[in-house]
Amino acid sequence: MPFYGTVVKVLDIKDMIAHKMVAFTERPSLANRDLFDIHYFLGTNYASEINYDVIKRRTDKSPKEFYKYMLSTVNHVNPNNILEGLGEVLTKSQKDWAKVKLLPELRELIKRQIDFI
């Protein structure tokens, strides 16, 4: 992609979403920014175009198995700590939303992906 006359290589969005979701499940400790990012991505039209070859190659799981694993991981997230590492970059209204709705909405988006596959 050209940027001010320089070609900049960028990751395709379909691959980016897959890598972000796998990174969330592979990190040694939770990064709440992953939850926020995954919620965003799964709420877009790109959620139907995720590169499942990336997920299969990195996790050796089928898409359905992977989403079930991801849902299980999300279910173990402590909602009281949801703003750790994330609150500094959110507005007040986004913080209020994240405290109450991020995890429940993310669970529903993941379940939608399971049903979609």
pLDDT in tens, the chain (117 residues): 677 888 888 899 999 999 999 999 999 998 999 999 999 999 999 999 999 999 999 999 999 999 999 999 999 999 999 999 887 889 999 999 999 999 999 999 999 999 998
DSSP string, 54-73: HHHHHH---HHHHHHHHHHH
Residue 7 β-bridge partners: 2
Q: Over the range 31-41, which residues count as b (16 or more CB within 10 Å of their CB) and which as e?
A: ebebbbbbbeb
Torsion angle, CA of 17/18/19/24, rounded to 10 degrees? 90
